[in-house]
Chain A
Amino acid sequence: MGKYKAVIGLEMHCELKSNSKVFSSAKNSYNETPNDNISAVDMAFPGTLPVVNKKCVKDALKMSIALNCTQPEYMYFDRKNYYYPDLPKGYQITQMASPVGVNGHITIECNGEKIPVNIHDIHLEEDAASLDHYYDTSCIDYNRAGVPLLELVTEPCLHSALEAVAFLEHMRSVYKYCDVSEADTKKGQIRCDVNISIMDYDATELGTRVEVKNINSFGNVYDAINYEIKRQSELKDQGRYEEIEQETRRFDEESGTTIRMRSKADAIDYKYFVDPNLPKFKISPEWLEEIKKEIPLLALERKEKYMNELNLSDYDAGVIIKEREYAEYFESCLNIGIDAKIACNWLTTQILGEINKLEINIKDFYLTPSLLKQIIDEINKGTISSKQAKEIFYKSLEEKKEPKTYINSDMAQISDNDELETIINKILEESQTQVEQYKNGKDNLFDYFVGQVMKNTRGKANPVITKEILNKKLNN
Chain B
Amino acid sequence: MNKSIKELHDSLKKGEVTSEDLIKEALEKSHDINAKYNAFVTIIDDAKPTSLTDNLLSGIPFGIKDNYSTKDILTTGSSNALKDYVPFFNATAVQKLLDAGAVPVNKTVLDEFGMGGTGTTGHTGIVKNPWDPKRMTAGSSAGSACAVALGVYPYALGSDTGDSIRKPAAYCGIVGYKPTYGMISRYGLFPFASSLDHCGVLTRNVLDAAIVVDTMKGIDKNDMTSWDSKDINLYKSINGEVKGKKLCYIKELCDLNNYENPTEELKSHLNNFMDKLEIFKKLGIEIDCVSIPKNLLDALPSVYVAISCAEATSNLSNLTGIIFGPRGNGKNVTEMMMDHRTKGFSPLIKRRLVIGSYILQKEQQERYFKNAQRVRRLLVDAWKKLYEKYDAVILPVGSGPAKHLDGSKDILTKDTAPLEEHLQIGNFGGFPSITIPDGFVNNLPVGLNITGNCYDDANILNIAYALENAMEYKNQIAKEVR
Q: Which residues of A contact B (CB under 8 A)?
A: 40, 43-52, 79, 81, 83, 85, 88-91, 138, 140, 269, 271, 273, 275-279
Per-position contact with A for B38-61: 1 when CB-CB < 8 Å, else 0?
Answer: 000000000000000000000000
Task: Return the chain A residue nearest B333 by Cβ.
Answer: A85
B195–A40 touching, CB < 8 Å: no
Task: Return the chain A residue nearest B189 by Cβ.
Answer: A47
A81–B323 touching, CB < 8 Å: no
For residues 167 through 193 of chain B, which have their beta carbon under 8 Å from a beta carbon of chain A? 186-191, 193
Enumerate chain B residues within 8 angstroms of A81, measured Cβ to Cβ: 313-314, 317, 360
B85–A276 touching, CB < 8 Å: no
A45 to B334, CA, bound (A): 20
B311–A47 touching, CB < 8 Å: no
B225–A271 touching, CB < 8 Å: no
Task: Return the chain A residue nearest B75 by Cβ.
Answer: A46
For residues 192 through 214 of chain B, which have their beta carbon under 8 Å from a beta carbon of chain A? 193-195
The verdict on A52 contacting B224 (CB below 8 Å), with A45-B324, A90-B317 known, is yes
Enumerate chain A residues within 8 angstroms of B91, measured Cβ to Cβ: 47
A275 to B222, CA, bound (A): 15
B195–A89 touching, CB < 8 Å: no
Q: Is B305 an interface residue, CB under 8 A from the partner?
A: no
Closest chain-A Cβ to B40's Cβ sits at a distance in Å of 19
The verdict on A271 contacting B187 (CB below 8 Å), with A44-B323, A49-B224, A52-B224 known, is no
Task: Return the chain A residue nearest B338 by Cβ.
Answer: A83
A43–B314 touching, CB < 8 Å: no
Q: Is B259 an interface residue, CB under 8 A from the partner?
A: no
B311–A276 touching, CB < 8 Å: yes
A46–B222 touching, CB < 8 Å: no
A269 to B365, CA, bound (A): 11
Task: Return the chain B residue nearest A83 by Cβ.
Answer: B337
The verdict on A49 contacting B361 (CB below 8 Å), with A44-B323, A83-B334, A89-B318 known, is no
Q: Is B418 an interface residue, CB under 8 A from the partner?
A: no
B194–A90 touching, CB < 8 Å: no
B360–A273 touching, CB < 8 Å: yes
B323–A48 touching, CB < 8 Å: no
A230 to B311, CA, bound (A): 46
Closest chain-A Cβ to B319's Cβ sits at a distance in Å of 8
Secondary structure of the A side of the interface?
A: loop
Closest chain-B Cβ to A323's Cβ sits at a distance in Å of 37
Enumerate chain B residues within 8 angstroms of A49, measured Cβ to Cβ: 186-187, 222-224
A216 to B244, CA, bound (A): 70
Enumerate chain A residues within 8 angstroms of B318, measured Cβ to Cβ: 44-46, 88-90
Q: Is B320 an interface residue, CB under 8 A from the partner?
A: yes
Task: Return the chain A residue nearest B363 by Cβ.
Answer: A269
A275 to B334, CA, bound (A): 25
B322–A40 touching, CB < 8 Å: no
Closest chain-A Cβ to B337's Cβ sits at a distance in Å of 6
Closest chain-B Cβ to A112's Cβ sits at a distance in Å of 45
For residues 88 through 145 of chain B, which have their beta carbon under 8 Å from a beta carbon of chain A? 88-89, 91
A91–B317 touching, CB < 8 Å: yes
A187 to B144, CA, bound (A): 51
Per-position contact with A for B362-385: 1 when CB-CB < 8 Å, else 0?
Answer: 100100010000000000000000
Q: Is B82 an interface residue, CB under 8 A from the partner?
A: yes
Enumerate chain A residues within 8 angstroms of B67, measured Cβ to Cβ: 47
A138 to B333, CA, bound (A): 10
Q: Which of B323, B333, B365, B369 meets A45, CB within 8 Å?
A: B323
Enumerate chain B residues within 8 angstroms of A279, measured Cβ to Cβ: 224-225
B89–A40 touching, CB < 8 Å: yes
A45 to B317, CA, bound (A): 11
Of A91, A140, A273, most buried by chain B (CB within 10 Å of CB) is: A273
Q: What would 4 more interface pairs be, CB under 8 Å, given A88-B318, A276-B195? A: A46-B87, A47-B191, A79-B314, A271-B357
Task: Return the chain B residue nearest A277 by Cβ.
Answer: B194
A271–B224 touching, CB < 8 Å: no
Enumerate chain B residues within 8 angstroms of A50, measured Cβ to Cβ: 224
A79 to B85, CA, bound (A): 26
Closest chain-B Cβ to A328's Cβ sits at a distance in Å of 36
Q: Which of A47, A90, A276 meets B320, CB within 8 Å?
A: A90
Q: Can you offer 9 A-B residue contacts whose CB atoms are under 8 A?
A: A40-B89, A45-B323, A46-B87, A47-B87, A85-B322, A88-B322, A271-B357, A273-B311, A279-B224
Enumerate chain B residues within 8 angstroms of A140, measured Cβ to Cβ: 322
Of A47, A48, A79, A269, most buried by chain B (CB within 10 Å of CB) is: A47
A89 to B314, CA, bound (A): 8
Closest chain-B Cβ to A74's Cβ sits at a distance in Å of 14
The verdict on A273 contacting B224 (CB below 8 Å), with A46-B190, A81-B314, A81-B360 known, is no
Enumerate chain A residues within 8 angstroms of B68, measured Cβ to Cβ: 47
Q: Is B437 an interface residue, CB under 8 A from the partner?
A: no
Closest chain-B Cβ to A233's Cβ sits at a distance in Å of 34
A43–B361 touching, CB < 8 Å: no
A83–B69 touching, CB < 8 Å: no
Q: Which of A51, A79, A271, A276 meets B361, CB within 8 Å?
A: A271
A88 to B319, CA, bound (A): 9
Closest chain-B Cβ to A21's Cβ sits at a distance in Å of 14
Task: Return the chain B residue nearest A43 by Cβ.
Answer: B323
The verdict on A46 contacting B317 (CB below 8 Å), with A51-B224, A269-B362 known, is no
Q: Is B310 an interface residue, CB under 8 A from the partner?
A: yes
Q: Which of B85, B187, B322 meets A48, CB within 8 Å?
A: B187
Closest chain-B Cβ to A87's Cβ sits at a distance in Å of 9
Closest chain-B Cβ to A91's Cβ sits at a distance in Å of 5
Q: Is B221 an interface residue, CB under 8 A from the partner?
A: yes
Closest chain-A Cβ to B64's Cβ sits at a distance in Å of 13
A45–B360 touching, CB < 8 Å: no
Enumerate chain B residues within 8 angstroms of A45, measured Cβ to Cβ: 69, 87-89, 318, 323-324
